[in-house]
């Protein structure tokens, strides 16, 4: 019997304005998993181009996400960091999955509806098929665990449905090849910690997003200390002091968000944060948050800047990672071809 190994895969789009939500919801979690798992972290450039990207910015942003991974402490020697378009098997398996997933499944995807907006007729076909490519990213490595922010939960469920349907559609061929538990694992989402959904600093009902027109809505990973301080001081709050228990955060989304950010940055739970800060006015809590955010995020921004000064070094890391990723992906995709009856 061929056993599945525990393997982590995740990705971030190189679409600019990497922010605190990306860090706390995803990249910081990526770094934590290094000690317990074999990890593959991808800069998903093929996902980025589902909406228009200026080519020069795309290249810059791809290197910047890579720099963020490294600055956050991910070790590109022990694990794999690469950009998606260098490993052709992602797109090839995505085509298979275009033929596995049903139109009805994709029609339910809320991210497509949000991103396509009112002008759906004019959205790219790629934006619609995006979740199939995401399933391929994960499954071409037969990855078992996927750390993501809350907003990716539905896409992960779709990836599981695709894996399941593929396993069912080809169950005979898969068993003939000696796989007793199906060919693809059903990947598990890892959505953990106090900041799986960081909200905008200007509006507690909207998530912090790369595409928000207001730069004050987010803390960018490249922001300097003064900018971080300014954005936190200007963050929207309500007039009440902080409660002493998390129950008291109900109906106070801005307060809940700042407490969640504090918790995630300090490695504590929201309960613990309120135990020490309950009763504080926002003016003093914000000052503590500024100090904490500058202490934790400042060095990451500085390291990113340093890495970005040597693009040849970043490109070498991506090239080396891609070669190692291909070594895993190619045999998996070769099996898929065999299973489906595609002559190699
Ligand atoms: P993206 O920028 O869409 O490529 O997202 C990269 C990763 O960051 C994904 O795992 C997202 O779920 C996560 N993420 C994006 N925005 C947020 C946010 N506001 N709060 C928490 N996680 C987020
Ligand atoms: N869709 C994810 C996002 O927008 C990025 C992504 C692409 C991804 N492929 C992935 C995340 C595979 C996890 C696993 O954030």
Give per-residue pLDDT as tens, 75-85.
999 999 999 99
Give per-residue pLDDT as tens, 177-226.
999 999 999 999 999 999 999 999 999 999 999 999 999 999 999 999 99
Q: 329 CB less than 6 Å from ligand 2?
A: no
- Confidence grade of residue 94 (pLDDT, cut at 50, 70, 90): very high
CA-based end-to-end distance of the chain: 24
Known catalytic residue: 207?
yes
More confident residue, 236 or 3: 236
Known catalytic residue: 234?
no
Report the C-alpha dihedral over residues 80, 161, 198, 321, rounded to 10 degrees.
10
Q: Which CATH class is domain 215-306?
A: mainly alpha
- Confidence grade of residue 97 (pLDDT, cut at 50, 70, 90): very high
Q: Does domain 7-196+310-340 have CATH number 3.40.50.1000?
A: no
Residue of minimum CA distance from atom 15 in ligand 1 = 22
Q: Is the pLDDT of residue 2 over 80?
A: no
| Coil/strand/helix, residue 149 | coil
Q: Is the pLDDT of residue 248 over 90?
A: yes
Q: Is the pLDDT of residue 1 over 90?
A: no
Give per-residue pLDDT as tens, 121-172.
999 999 999 999 999 999 999 999 999 999 999 999 999 999 999 999 999 9
Residue of minimum CA distance from atom 6 in ligand 2 = 11
Known catalytic residue: 236?
no
Give per-residue pLDDT as tens, 295-344.
999 999 999 999 999 999 999 999 999 999 999 999 999 999 999 999 99
Residue of minimum CA distance from atom 14 in ligand 2 = 10
Distance 288 CA to ligand 1 centre (A): 25
> Closest Cα to residue 198, out of 141, 258, 134?
258
Q: Is the pTM higher than 0.85? A: yes
Distance 243 CA to ligand 2 centre (A): 35
Strands 188-190 vs 145-147: parallel, antiparallel or unpaired: parallel
Distance 236 CA to ligand 1 centre (A): 21
Domain ranges for the chain, please list them.
7-196+310-340, 215-306
Beta partners for 134?
A: none
> Cα–Cα distance between 304 and 142 in angstroms, integer?
31
Q: Is the pLDDT of residue 260 over 60?
A: yes
83 phi/psi in degrees, rounded to 5: -105, 140
Give the mean model confidence (pLDDT) for residues 236-257: 97
Could you tell me what percent of the chain has a pLDDT over 90?
A: 97
The token pair at 177 is: 């090849």
Q: What number does the ligand 1 atom closest to the CA of 47 have?
A: 4
> Cα–Cα distance between 293 and 220 in angstroms, integer?
11
Q: Which ligand is closest in space to the CA of residue 17?
A: 1
> Cα–Cα distance between 133 and 50 in angstroms, integer?
11
Is residue 141 a contact partner of residue 40, using CB atoms and an 8 Å limit?
A: yes
Calculate the average pLDDT of the chain: 97
> Closest Cα to residue 321, out of 130, 97, 69, 60?
69
- Confidence grade of residue 62 (pLDDT, cut at 50, 70, 90): very high
pLDDT value at residue 5: 59
Element (H, E) at 113: helix 110-116
Sign, CA dihedral 242-244-248-254, equals positive
Q: 100 CB less than 6 Å from ligand 2?
A: no
Q: What number does the ligand 1 atom closest to the CA of 207 have?
A: 19
Q: What number does the ligand 2 atom closest to the CA of 44 have?
A: 7
Q: Which ligand is closest in space to the CA of residue 29?
A: 1
Q: 152 CB less than 6 Å from ligand 2?
A: yes
Give the mean model confidence (pLDDT) for residues 87-100: 98
Is residue 13 a contact partner of residue 44, using CB atoms and an 8 Å limit?
A: yes
Give per-residue pLDDT as tens, 3-44.
555 999 999 999 999 999 999 999 999 999 999 999 999 999
């Amino acid at each position: 019997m061929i056993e599945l190994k525990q393997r982590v895969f995740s990705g971030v789009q190189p679409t600019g304005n990497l922010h605190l939500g990306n860090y706390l919801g995803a990249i910081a979690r990526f770094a934590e998993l290094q000690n317990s798992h074999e990890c593959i972290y991808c800069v998903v450039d093929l996902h980025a181009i589902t909406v228009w990207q200026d080519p020069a910015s795309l290249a810059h942003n791809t290197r910047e996400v890579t720099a963020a991974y490294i600055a956050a402490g991910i070790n590109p020697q022990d694990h794999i960091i690469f950009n998606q378009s260098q490993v052709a098997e992602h797109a090839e398996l995505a085509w298979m999955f275009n033929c596995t997933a049903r139109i009805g499944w994709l029609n339910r995807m809320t991210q497509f509806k949000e991103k396509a907006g009112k002008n759906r007729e004019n959205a790219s076909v790629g934006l619609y098929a995006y979740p199939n490519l995401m399933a391929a990213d994960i499954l071409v490595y037969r990855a078992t665990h996927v750390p993501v922010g809350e907003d990716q939960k539905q896409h992960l469920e779709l990836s599981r449905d695709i894996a399941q349907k593929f396993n069912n559609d080809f169950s005979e061929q898969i068993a003939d090849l000696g796989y007793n538990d199906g060919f693809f694992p059903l990947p598990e989402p890892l959505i953990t910690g106090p900041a799986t959904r960081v909200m905008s600093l200007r509006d507690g009902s909207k998530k912090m997003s790369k595409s928000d027109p207001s730069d004050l809505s987010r803390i960018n990973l490249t922001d300097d200390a003064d900018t971080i301080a300014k954005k936190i001081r200007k963050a929207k709050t309500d007039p009440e002091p902080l409660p002493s228990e998390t129950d008291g955060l109900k109906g106070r989304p801005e307060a809940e968000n700042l407490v969640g950010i504090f918790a995630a940055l300090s490695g504590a739970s929201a309960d613990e944060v309120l135990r020490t800060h309950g009763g504080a006015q926002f003016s003093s809590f914000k000052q503590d948050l500024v100090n904490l955010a500058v202490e934790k995020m400042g060095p990451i921004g500085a390291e990113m800047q340093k890495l970005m000064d040597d693009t040849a070094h970043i490109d070498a890391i991506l090239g080396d990672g891609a070669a190692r990723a291909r070594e895993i992906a190619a045999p998996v995709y070769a099996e898929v071809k065999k299973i489906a009856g595609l002559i190699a």
